[in-house]
Amino acid sequence: MRKLLDLGNRYAKDSSWKDFALVKFCVFAMGLAAGTQVPDKYKKAAVGAAAGVFAATYIPLMAKMFRIAFGREQVK
């Protein structure tokens, strides 16, 4: 558990406001997809949009996390 917390601290230290904005969009999209309370007529479009936003934000976030975890993050 300690290693995960250290990894989170390194990620936060090496991140900019743009990275945290991506995290917020990613979490929002996941919550929207999980708790969609729209009429059935629009549910498919809402979940599809949320899935698109989630994928577009999750991939770069995880790429950076793996670079940090395996020591390949470039120094700013």
- Tens of pLDDT, residue by residue over 49-73, are 888 988 888 888 888 888 888 886 5
Q: What is the DSSP string of 33-52?
A: HHS--S-HHHHHHHHHHHHH
What was the pLDDT predicted at 4? 79
pLDDT at 74 over 60: no
Residue 22 Rama label (left phi>0; alpha psi -120 to 50; beta): alpha
Average pLDDT over residues 21-28: 86
Q: What is the pTM of this model?
A: 0.59
Q: Residue 46 corresponds to which tokens in the numbers above?
A: 């809402």
Q: Give the separation between CA 43 and CA 33, rounded to whole angstroms.
A: 9
Confidence of residue 33 (pLDDT cuts 50, 70, 90): confident
